[in-house]
């Protein structure tokens, strides 16, 4: 995974950032509260974005005591 490969360099940087491009379709709550989304969102896409959100959480928690910032973004 590219994040693991670059992590040593990111941790050396004073402004290390990991930014993942996600989607609202990866939100379980959004999926459950919006019937239209359930009709148009391919299950594989929504599942992959939910997994990406979990990876973002993993990296954020793993590096909680460092200056590295980890985020996931969605562009509307």
Compute the half-sphere exposure of residue 68: CA atoms within 13 Å on the CB side of its CA: 23
What range does the domain containing 10 cover? 2-73
Q: What's the number of domains the chain is made of?
A: 1
Q: CA 76, CA 3: separation in Å to the nearest integer? A: 25
* Residue in the block written with tokens 């928690």: 61
For 15-41, what is each residue's pLDDT tens digit? 999 999 999 888 888 888 877 777 777
For 42-60, what is each residue's pLDDT tens digit? 889 889 999 999 999 999 9
pLDDT of residue 58: 96
């Amino acid at each position: 995974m590219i994040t693991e490969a670059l992590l040593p360099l990111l941790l050396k940087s004073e402004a290390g950032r990991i930014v993942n491009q996600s989607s609202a379709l990866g939100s379980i709550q959004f999926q459950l509260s919006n019937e239209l989304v359930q009709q148009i969102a391919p299950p594989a896409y929504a599942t992959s974005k939910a997994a990406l959100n979990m990876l973002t959480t993993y990296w954020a928690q793993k590096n909680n005591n460092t200056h590295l910032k980890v985020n996931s973004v969605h562009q509307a």
